[in-house]
Amino acid sequence: MLRPNRLLLGIGLLIAILPACSGPEPGPIASPREQSQAKARFDREALLLAAEQLIGPARSADLRLSSAQIDSLFEEPGFEVPDEPRLIWAAARPGASLPGGWRMLDALESREAYRDVRARLPWRPNWLPMARRDAQWLAVECSRSSSPAGPLLLFDEAGPVRIVAANFTVLFASLTGVEGSDPLRPEFSDRPR
């Protein structure tokens, strides 16, 4: 029989250890191949041209956040904001829409949405919300190191997460027909995570 002191010590140790046993949140859902494709298929000029067609015209310079301001917005989550979202935020007019009823988020809205979804959904800490349609989100999977682009995820609050495009360059090119990137590839859209 355990003595009361040992029982209390055991309970105390168990309480102290349990949070650590839950482990870190899972890493990226994109495979290394998909992450490499996101970087390799980034095309600054094609992205800007397609963004102007889809969500332009470009914002005036006084409405744009500086790179330092964006960094400070996303300092807490601990990931690097890729070049693609930065370019989109610089180009997009507030409240811009994509075909299919998607509403693009600006940097401030993205940060607020990040806080909201992290608090109430199984949202990974490296997902950056960029657009919303009802209970669905388009998000960029970010990395801890600098990267020009990340895989584009579709998060449905009622269903599985899927990678829907290599990155925004590919998505925008497929929606506009802008040369420079291939259209959406089926292996991304059909694989729930």
Q: Supply the pTM of this predicted model.
A: 0.75
Q: Cα(181)–Cα(115) distance, rounded to whole angstroms?
A: 32
Which among 153, 91, 104 has a CA at the least distance from the CA of 130?
A: 104
Percent of the chain at pLDDT > 70 equals: 73
pLDDT per residue as tens digits for the range 10-54: 444 333 333 333 333 556 788 889 988 999 999 999 888 888 888
Average pLDDT over residues 134-163: 90
Q: Cα(64)–Cα(74) distance, rounded to whole angstroms?
A: 16
User: Please, are residues 152 and 161 in contact by the beta-carbon 8 Å criterion?
Assistant: no
User: Please, are residues 153 and 139 in contact by the beta-carbon 8 Å criterion?
Assistant: yes
Q: Please determine, for residue 67, whether its predicted confidence score (pLDDT) is greater than 50.
A: yes
Q: Name the DSSP class of 164.
A: E
pLDDT at 22: 34
What's the CATH fold of domain 29-189?
SMI1/KNR4-like (3.40.1580)
Structural domain boundaries in the chain: 29-189
Q: Cα(153)–Cα(189) distance, rounded to whole angstroms?
A: 9
Alpha-carbon distances of 186 from 17, 28, 50, 92, 167, rounded to whole Å: 44, 20, 21, 27, 14
Residue 98 has φ and ψ, to the nearest 5°, of -105, 160
Q: Cα(3)–Cα(34) distance, rounded to whole angstroms?
A: 56
